[in-house]
Structure 1
């Protein structure tokens, strides 16, 4: 925020104005977006219906313009954020290489890692998040290194981490491969002589952020990215190597016949539900209440679809991180008749044991 900016057109605080913009953006009638924010994070966790309040950081600088960075991020990668208070002599590289494998695949690699070093705990975390707003330039950095150009210490550290993280072999969606990160970003700040706080925040490939400047002359209009920027993708299933599955007539015996690595072509109806739905099911079963739907021989997809818009058959329905349902898996398989689950990334030991026990599938 420029020190010479003069405000008009709204009452209340700057945060109030920002939250009103968020409210209008997410509830725009032409393109309603998912409402994901819950108030009272510890107890009721009631959805605010419009993704407010936003998490807002404001800095006062010289000038008479307003520069805004907006970032919309889901929980899949955000929930894998890490913070550590290292000793001054500890290796950041060693910590990163030890930590990344523990993050699983729920952050949807390949993506970016933002690293904040220094300041205090909260400053390191903020720097890590801010670094993810920068352009991807690792390919340019590598070209400079190959040309023999001198690199700064931070640039050299970025390349070292990029190469060593990719050498871990985690790969896209954790399925193994050479591309786990597309870039490594690092921001630093002076810190106490006794400290070295380090935060690491991943961003998935769906890195949703926008940047604009307001000078008081009117609204800012941003052109949407051209569809020509997307590569042509031509894919059809290999029917000879795939199994056709009718979800409406699926049986436990058919599920038990599936093997790891099978490609399944699904047709029919599936149920959908995320962690909040599973918690409600758990509470209803504990009270002896009848469930709203029959789960017998059904498959559930870990997703909360957004309402369709403009003639869409279904709104966005990307899978949510499956590990959040791990604690409910035994209950769902043992008490509801559910026989299979669809989701994103790995399952933990508790869920894997339940799947084995009930000869289910994920």
Structure 2
């Protein structure tokens, strides 16, 4: 009989969540570096360089890899010979660990969990509750997997109840292009097949905890249907040419994971859950000896990656922005932003539109300005702002036409592609959309020299801030004519990849 103390589980969960907020797993770093080395698309290679540099900076500074510090998912296996020295329920212990981690004064993590999801959507303030999956298993130990999953990648999850004769690979290849780049590729795809609807989703999520080992599988060959599917999809998904951040390139996925289980004869449930470039998970075992020890990786594990900008790169003064300047931007061009940059994401846009509909004056003049879709992490120490990478831009698409038409806004900065209604609005109003790299939040934050809240302070991280930025790197993703590099890039690179094989 093993006795596990209440605080040992609580503190171990808290320590693990802090650990994964700033340390990528080594297998991820190795796989991303290999992809960077072989990448031939300049835009994709640049994006991966930023992700790798950001990763090392976070490991050194012990600050979050991504501003979206995720919704916590815990898989816990409790041995039948374990006895608890505790007065809290198991889920309450885990949630207390989450609470400690996200309120840690030296590395405050962004609280992103909202209660009453279809009503008030009020932030719980401490990122609880976690999503918890519990098994009672033979043994005298407690085994825990802790993960933090960003909302952008979780939003791209897919599920279908296929017919028994349907081709799983064909369905996956149909879905991946529809996922766009909001899940911040390159990353992993977890696939669950069988069971029931909820079991397929659970298996897809759990598969993402496994280490990246596709190259070892390629070397030894498949020994079952799941491994055959992994190899087939790894090859075919990368041939789509979607590439890093959806800009077009050789690597879209670093690995494909597949879990399956028996299912009803009439069904074939299939789920896809992507894991983004902010891959965050850790494993520990409690054996009664105390708090779990997590061994930090060596900084030698991070490769030295050069990220260089050409001398003729365009620097833009946001304080002197004009329509004519915006209309000169070229698709795929790297731009360095300088000056005052506004922020605003979902809740702020909803409030802006509500005020416009009521004929009310906005608290901030948007004319000839740019707005950055971001919800930053709170600063610690002498930081101006915490990690401040972009959020998925498509969520603001439904607001774009009205905001551009009624405010004189000239441009937007965000993550991933824009949808047809936003592109049409950008073209109509001769505006632009610039893309910052998802998964490089700490690197982006270093370009922010000053920060202050201008409006909607009650929205917390969704308030309207004004950042003073210096050489903040972005890519022209949609120009004033409506040309989108997220459409042209993958098309070009899928054709190049096909030609390479001839």
Smaller-chain TM-score bracket: over 0.9
Please give the residue correspondences for 1:140-289 in structure 2 after superposition, counting only pairs within 5 Å: 140-145=216-221, 151-240=223-312, 242-289=313-360
Structure with higher strand content: 2
Determine if contact 2:110/2:377 at 8 Å carries over to the other structure: yes
Please give the residue correspondences for 1:12-91 in structure 2 after superposition, counting only pairs within 5 Å: 12-91=88-167
Determine if contact 2:226/2:260 at 8 Å carries over to the other structure: no
Q: Once the 2 structures are TM-superposed, how far is the Cα of residue 48 of structure 1 from its aligned partner?
A: 0.7
TM-score of the superposition, structure 1-length normalised?
Answer: 0.95
Question: Per the alignment, in what secondary structure is the counterpart of residue 250 of structure 2?
Answer: coil
Runs of 4+ in 1 over 6 A off after TM superposition: none
Partner Cα distance (1:270, 1:86) in 2: 47
Q: Once the 2 structures are TM-superposed, how far is the Cα of residue 312 of structure 1 from its aligned partner?
A: 2.7
CA RMSD of aligned residues (A): 1.3
Partner Cα distance (2:415, 2:403) in 1: 18
**Matched pairs, number:** 356
Q: Gaps (5+ residues) in structure 1? A: none
**Per-residue displacement from partner, 1:244-281 (whole Å, max 9, x unpaired)?**
10011111121112121222111112011211111121
Of residues 90, 96, 101 in structure 1, which corresponds to 2:172? 96
Q: Gaps (5+ residues) in structure 2? A: 1-77, 434-502
Please say if 1:333 is aligned against 2:404: yes
Q: Once the 2 structures are TM-superposed, how far is the Cα of residue 311 of structure 1 from its aligned partner?
A: 2.6
Please give the residue correspondences for 1:298-313 in structure 2 after superposition, counting only pairs within 5 Å: 298-313=369-384
Partner Cα distance (2:159, 2:234) in 1: 19
2:202 alignment counterpart: 126
**Per-residue displacement from partner, 1:269-316 (whole Å, max 9, x unpaired)?**
201121111112122222333322221211111111111223333211
2:428 alignment counterpart: 357
Deviates more, 1:199-208 or 1:278-287: 278-287
TM-score of the superposition, structure 2-length normalised?
Answer: 0.69
Partner Cα distance (2:368, 2:112) in 1: 30
Partner Cα distance (2:298, 2:405) in 1: 49
Question: Per the alignment, in what secondary structure is the counterpart of residue 270 of structure 1?
Answer: strand
